[in-house]
Amino acid sequence: MITSQQLLEVINSFQRGSILKEYLPVISAITGVVIGLFLNSLKEYITEKSRQSKYRELIRQEIELAVEDSIDLARRLTKELDECTSNKKLMRVYIPNLATICFEEFYPKLVVSYNSHERECINRVYNNMALINSSSTKNYTATLGKDFSTCFNRANDIFISVIKLYHAYSNLYLGYKEKEIAIEYFLKKNDIESKFYQDMIDKSKAEKNKIGGIK
């Protein structure tokens, strides 16, 4: 025979099951909405990260292309300097217009994703690209000025901008830690021969040795 306690337990069990059955559709609906929102947010997050990764890679490729073109420019500049400084000829050099479209299009969307060091390096890269582009001869070789002095100063300024561009790129992607980059290091690193700059380097070393009392 069933006791009163057992009967009470059956009634309570029945009541709990009824309440659960009554609210189960609501609970399922809420759970479905929450999961749907989570999955949608996750999808948007992954999509945005993928987009940022592609944009960052495009900017890196643009910078690497600019570095390659600027090193070629440095070779042309040093060759022209070597040939023209002895006879004071006007210098004729092809100066390309370095592309900045990826920086202009994507960097504003990515700026917060870079840390302060990366932002500083990228700004230095594109600032020096702008300086080089300001002297661009477009698609042809042209003289750098109306007289030798103007040509020389302009060629040297462009060459220094190339070195600064390479330095910022090295800091950004190659792990180069130095605050400055020497002309001698740049020439050796990129297999560029320059009698003009090498003579200047040798004279500078001789002066330092003389001041330091090294014979």
Rounded to 10°, the helix 148-173/4-84 angle is 160
The pLDDT value given to residue 18: 52
The pLDDT value given to residue 154: 92
The pLDDT value given to residue 41: 66
Tens digit of each residue's pLDDT, the chain (215 residues): 555 555 455 445 545 555 545 555 666 666 766 676 666 666 666 666 778 889 999 999 999 999 999 999 999 999 999 888 878 888 889 999 999 999 999 999 999 999 999 999 999 999 999 999 999 987 778 888 888 889 889 999 999 999 999 999 999 999 888 888 899 999 999 999 999 899 888 888 888 777 765 54
Which residues, in sequence order, are CB contacts of 57 under 8 Å at separation 6+?
A: none
The pLDDT value given to residue 204: 85
Look at strands 92-93 and 142-143 and give their pairing: antiparallel
Containing 92, the helix (H) or strand (E) segment is: strand 92-93
Q: Give the distance from CA 201 to its chain's centroid.
A: 30
Gap between the Cα atoms of 190 and 143, Å rounded: 25
Number of domains in the chain: 1
Which residues, in sequence order, are CB contacts of 175 under 8 Å at separation 6+?
A: none
Q: Give the distance from CA 113 to its chain's centroid.
A: 12
Full domain range(s) for residue 139: 4-211
The pLDDT value given to residue 210: 74
Three-class secondary structure of residue 146 per DSSP: coil
- The burial of 34, by beta-carbon neighbours within 10 Å (0-12 exposed, 13-18 middle, 19 or more buried), is given as exposed
The pLDDT value given to residue 167: 96
